[in-house]
Amino acid sequence: MSRRVGQAFIENALRGVPLSVNGDGSDALDFTYIADLVQGLILCIVRPEARNQIFNLTYGDARSLKQMIEVVKRSYRTLWSNTCRATN
């Protein structure tokens, strides 16, 4: 599964291209807000106790691909209608 799914969904929405996923859309990813990621990176750089440590910077709460499609549909609904779906 592509880790750039959010980018692909948004690009397709802007182009009016149907969004689809393989399967039922229940696969889940952790979509991290970029400002949170940047804050985490800054803390890793400036905190002495972070030196030589390993971090997994993520939000910690996954959304299914079906949920992500619904978010994109709500955000870009004026561009197209009924083009987002999960496919088996």
- This model's pTM is above 0.75: no
pLDDT given at position 1? 46
pLDDT given at position 44? 95
pLDDT class of 85 with cuts at 50, 70, 90 = low
Task: Say which residue the tokens 């182009």 belong to.
Answer: 15
Bigger pLDDT: 82 vs 35? 35
Q: Considering only CA atoms, which of 4, 74, 69, 70 is closest in space to residue 32?
A: 4
CA geometry: angle at 6 spanning 43 and 26, to 5°?
105
pLDDT in tens, 23-81: 898 988 887 888 999 999 999 999 999 999 999 888 888 889 899 888 888 887 766 55
